[in-house]
Amino acid sequence: MRVTMILPALTEATSPLFRPIKYSLFPPLGLATLAAYLGPDDDVRILDEHVQRLDGIVDDDTPDLVVIQVYITSARRAYELADAYRARGVTVALGGLHVTSLPEEAAAHADVIFIGPGEDTWPSFLADFRRGSYASRYVSSERTLVGLPPIRRDLIQRGRYLVPNSIVVTRGCPHHCDFCYKDAFFTGGKSFYTQLVDDALAEIDRLPGRHLYFLDDHLFGNKRFAASLFDGMRGMGRVWQAASTVDAILAPDLLEKAAAAGLRSMFVGLETINAGNLPEQRKRQNVGRDYGAVVRRLHDAGVMINASFVFGMDGDGPDVFDRTVAWGVEHGLETATFHIMTPYPGTALHRRMASRILHEDWDLYDTRHVVYEPRGMTAEQLSDGYWRAYRDFYRWGSIWRGASGKPARDRLRHLAYAGGWKKFEPLWDALIRSGQVLRALPLLERALSLRSRQDLQSRV
Ligand code: B12
Ligand code: SF4
């Protein structure tokens, strides 16, 4: 059987003028996971529009089956590709987060759609498809990561990504924040589950080189699993990055174990410095927490922080941008990611905001555009403030001030890491265009490895 798997991109990622590095970071892990269920005789390929042009490849492609992963921001492009394949008589399967949120919309462009994660439904469909009779919709209900076939990383064009060693060892998250995709996506079964520790360690062992990036929503979400994983990773010589939550970072021991196993940078959803916004978003795990203590704890463990903030919650006024940036610089955050609040279909936030939503142009649901009527400021103030926050936080003066109170090696790391992401964009663009982006990985590894607390690995 011939199968083409496609991860379509949003327009920005394919711009002929400028290619932001964030679209050349991670390979299509979801599709490589699904490809593992195909047999040795199947002829399968993965196309990722974030890193390659599809014109000329898909135009007269006629496989037995085309599989398209749909995110909200790439939905329009996904449907365009799906319609073209169907017009040529190819069977089209659509799945992913956006299909799960809006199945009726997706079904109009597909022969078969998949709701939720694919590990249970996809193999059932494949068996039906080979038999010649399949349903138009498969809904996931059995959630387990035990006994998965090894991900088909051989189908990934490693050289086109800065972080080819991205990995997920859990699915979902134990929390239920209002704006998050996860409750909608995991409806009808478990919404947080893990691999077996030995399987996760075996997967890590299969990855070449030193650097890893865990894409798990909340790697620390199951303490027992995380502690055993970190114990198992000690001595493997890895340097890695991951995401977790405020409460898990403040909890004793786990962070130290992670740092001893090679954790060097952590993505954390601080979301807002206006504490009054948190209950409204059901961000309970952040309520009443001292964010300053979170940053100190990470820095004390030798771990950099990438803090994520959302602007435009109902408690935010026009002062929120400058206050957030000032707080971040004062606390020495190495990097920050800012977002305009975006009510994704299927989320509790979307239901709550229904009457204030301005349009359903999914291309603009990219957390950089205002798609609803804000309360505490105008849409224009929200949009301007968002862009200003990025500019102000990543000025050399701010980067320098944020780094200045740190010990020498941590200061150097801060400057190299923040500057590297945000101050050398033309260089990233050139590397992406020449297909050489992986060549910069040793620099990332070196920046991550610079830190003042080199002795931690041996102390914990
Ligand atoms: C890595 C990542 C990225 C990467 C690249 C994406 C990639 N290469 O896949 C980058 C940095 C480019 C990125 C960018 C953005 N991202 Co992003 N990203 C992620 C992240 C952290 C991990 C994705 C992943 O690999 N998951 C692991 C794999 C195994 O799961 P999976 O991909 O979902 O695949 C499974 C199922 O979905 C299903 N499946 C998927 N497709 C299909 C198809 C078929 C036929 C079948 C059967 C099954 C199936 O089967 C797979 C196995 O179970 C997720 C969070 C998350 N936990 O998923 C956010 C996430 C997907 N991103 C999100 C957002 C909002 C964005 C941005 C808009 C953010 C921004 N402001 O820049 C941009 C734009 C995205 C775009 N290109 O359109 C949201 C999506 C919301 C939505 N409703 O679509 C998420 C969920 C984060 C969040 N918590 O809100 N992102
Ligand atoms: S902690 Fe993060 S991943 Fe978990 S529900 Fe909240 S926003 Fe989603």
Q: Out of 20-24, 25-29, 74-78, 301-305, which region has the weakest mean confidence (pLDDT)?
A: 20-24
Q: Out of 18-32, 113-127, 229-243, which region has the weakest mean confidence (pLDDT)?
A: 18-32
- Ligand 2 pocket by C-beta < 6 Å: which residues? 173, 175-177, 180, 182, 217-218, 245, 269
Average pLDDT over residues 425-441: 88
How is residue 335 annotated by DSSP?
E
Domain co-membership, 40 together with 182: no
Q: Is the confidence at residue 455, as pLDDT, over 50?
A: no
Please indicate, yes or no, if residue 156 is contained in any of the structural domains.
no
CB of 95 closer than 6 angstroms to any ligand 1 atom: yes
Domain co-membership, 380 together with 266: yes
Please indicate, yes or no, if residue 76 is contained in any of the structural domains.
yes
Q: Whose CA is nearest to atom 8 of ligand 2?
A: 180
Q: Is the confidence at residue 402, as pLDDT, over 90?
A: yes
pLDDT digits (tens, 9 = 90+) for 300-348: 999 999 999 999 999 999 999 999 999 999 999 999 999 999 999 999 9
Domain co-membership, 61 together with 108: yes
Please indicate, yes or no, if residue 457 is contained in any of the structural domains.
no
Domain co-membership, 244 together with 342: yes
CB of 338 closer than 6 angstroms to any ligand 1 atom: no
pLDDT digits (tens, 9 = 90+) for 117-155: 999 999 999 999 999 999 999 999 999 999 999 999 999
Please indicate, yes or no, if residue 152 is contained in any of the structural domains.
no
Please indicate, yes or no, if residue 438 is contained in any of the structural domains.
yes
Average pLDDT over residues 204-216: 96
Domain co-membership, 329 together with 199: yes
Q: What is the rounded CA–CA span in Å between residue 460 and residue 458? A: 6
Q: Which residues contact 444 (CB under 8 A, 6 or more apart)?
A: 162, 163, 211, 420
Q: Which amino acid type is present at position 71?
A: Y
Indicate the number of domains in the chain: 2
pLDDT digits (tens, 9 = 90+) for 246-283: 999 999 999 999 999 999 999 999 999 988 888 888 88
Domain co-membership, 372 together with 251: yes
Domain co-membership, 286 together with 210: yes
Q: What is the rounded CA–CA span in Å between residue 415 and residue 427? A: 17
Domain co-membership, 169 together with 313: yes
CB atoms within 10 A of CB 161: 23
DSSP class per residue in 118-165: STTHHHHHHHHHHHT---SEEE------TTPPPP-GGGS-GGG-S---
Of the residues 124, 139, 154, the one at which a domain ends: 139
Q: Please report, rounded to a whole number, the percentage of residues in the chain having pLDDT higher than 70.
A: 98
Q: Which residues contact 452 (CB under 8 A, 6 or more apart)?
A: 302, 406, 407, 408, 409, 410
Average pLDDT over residues 64-70: 98
**What's the pLDDT score for residue 453?**
61
Its domain, for residue 345, covers 162-449
Q: What is the rounded CA–CA span in Å between residue 49 and residue 23? A: 10
**What's the pLDDT score for residue 283?**
86
Please indicate, yes or no, if residue 147 is contained in any of the structural domains.
no
User: pTM, whole model, 2 decimals?
Assistant: 0.95
Average pLDDT over residues 425-431: 87
Q: Whose CA is nearest to atom 28 of ligand 1?
A: 30
**What's the pLDDT score for residue 289?**
84
Nearest residue to 152 via CA among 6, 2, 40: 40
Q: Is the confidence at residue 171, as pLDDT, over 70?
A: yes
Please indicate, yes or no, if residue 326 is contained in any of the structural domains.
yes
Q: What is the rounded CA–CA span in Å between residue 88 and residue 66? A: 11
Confidence bin at 460 (pLDDT 50/70/90): very low
Nearest residue to 94 via CA among 76, 73, 123, 115: 115
CB of 34 closer than 6 angstroms to any ligand 1 atom: yes
Positive or negative, the Cα torsion across 223, 226, 232, 237? negative
Q: What is the rounded CA–CA span in Å between residue 264 and residue 447? A: 10
Domain co-membership, 131 together with 166: no
Please indicate, yes or no, if residue 153 is contained in any of the structural domains.
no
Domain co-membership, 167 together with 292: yes
**What's the pLDDT score for residue 457?**
46
**Each residue of 276-309: b (16+ CB within 10 Å) or e?**
ebbeebbbebbeebebeebbebbbebbbbbbbbb
The CATH number of whichever domain residue 10 belongs to comes to 3.40.50.280
Give me ligand 1 centre to Cα 304, in Å.
24
Average pLDDT over residues 99-103: 98
Q: Is the confidence at residue 55, as pLDDT, over 80?
A: yes
What is the pLDDT of the chain when averaged over all its residues? 94
Q: Is the confidence at residue 454, as pLDDT, over 60?
A: no
Domain co-membership, 264 together with 372: yes
Domain co-membership, 189 together with 126: no
Of the residues 139, 171, 195, the one at which a domain ends: 139
The CATH number of whichever domain residue 416 belongs to comes to 3.20.20.70
